[in-house]
Each structure stands twice: as C-alpha cells, then as structure tokens.
Amino acid sequence: MHWNGTVKRFVTTAWVGVRSLCLSLGLGLVLASAAHAKGPAPQAGAGVQTIAVAELPKQGVETYEKILQGGPFAYDKDGTVFGNRERVLPEQKRGYYREYTVKTPYARTRGAKRIVCGGSQPTAPDACYYTDDHYASFKRIVK
C-alpha cells in the first residue's frame, strides 16, 4: 500500500513538472504569460481564450449556475481552494480561486472538467474559468 502511494506521488509530481516544462518551452506561451499577470483577472482579448456560458457543455452550464446560487454541489471537493500550482491562471493569493467539478457523463471519477472561479465572494466571482483538460488550459467564461 505504501509503495503505491509513493508511485502515485511520483507520477503526480512528474506530470506537474512536464506541464511546467512545456509552458517554459513556449508551449501555451500565451497562457503562461497570463499566469504571471498581477491584479484582477485578464479581460477578454488579453491573451486568454474565452468561452460563452451557452458554449459550455450542458453539465458546465449547470455547474456554473450552481456556483452563482451557492450550491448544492455533488462532490466534497467542490468549492475548495484551488492552488493554481500549474500557474496557468493569473497569480493571486492562496484562497482566491475555488474549484468546482463539471460532471462528465458515464465517468466513474470526477473526470477532467472543472470550473475555477476567483474572488472574495463565491456566489459573485470576479472571474470564472473552464478547463476540460484538468488544469492544463483554461478559457475565461463570459456571458
């Protein structure tokens, strides 16, 4: 059991390192530069792709609406602090971002789709971002 935990930590650490290396080599350079911006979330057209709420998958729209309503959420991890370890989102103090699961039909796990929102009020976020590749890339959600 202990060995499996060690392997899992190694693989997780290696994956984060590979993504960071790809960003530093220029893959996703636009997103990487946005990750180091200070202050409020970038506006549309400032180097971060956008996605309209209506363009989100059906489950994404449902999750977004639940965020604005304050829940209820299907998973214990929903609403917990998102650490932005990948540094794809604009840099903010710890606790600024919160993550929410976007259900993936027929998935046995939480899947890779998430909405991450930033701000001091969870039901009135400054900005929300959608990822369908488990934090490798994000699109800012616009109305």
98-118 per-position pLDDT tens digit: 999 999 999 899 999 999 999
Query: Average pLDDT in the 115-125 region?
Result: 96
Whether 3 has a pLDDT exceeding 90, the answer reads no
Lowest-confidence segment of 24-33, 48-57, 94-103 by average pLDDT: 24-33
Lowest-confidence segment of 42-56, 66-80, 121-135 by average pLDDT: 42-56
Nearest CA among 62, 83, 57 for reference residue 73: 62
**CA 135, 109, 79: angle at the middle one, nearest 5?**
55
Superfamily grouping for domain 2-142: Microbial ribonucleases (3.10.450.30)
> 47 pLDDT band (50/70/90 cuts)?
low
**CA 41, 66, 140: angle at the middle one, nearest 5?**
25
d(CA 117, CA 38): 16
Whether 10 has a pLDDT exceeding 80, the answer reads no
Q: Name which residue leads in pLDDT, 34 or 48.
A: 48
- Give the dihedral sign, CA 2/94/76/135: negative
Question: Annotated active-site positions, please?
Answer: 99, 134
Report residue 129 as tokens.
């971002």
Report residue 54 as tokens.
């209506």
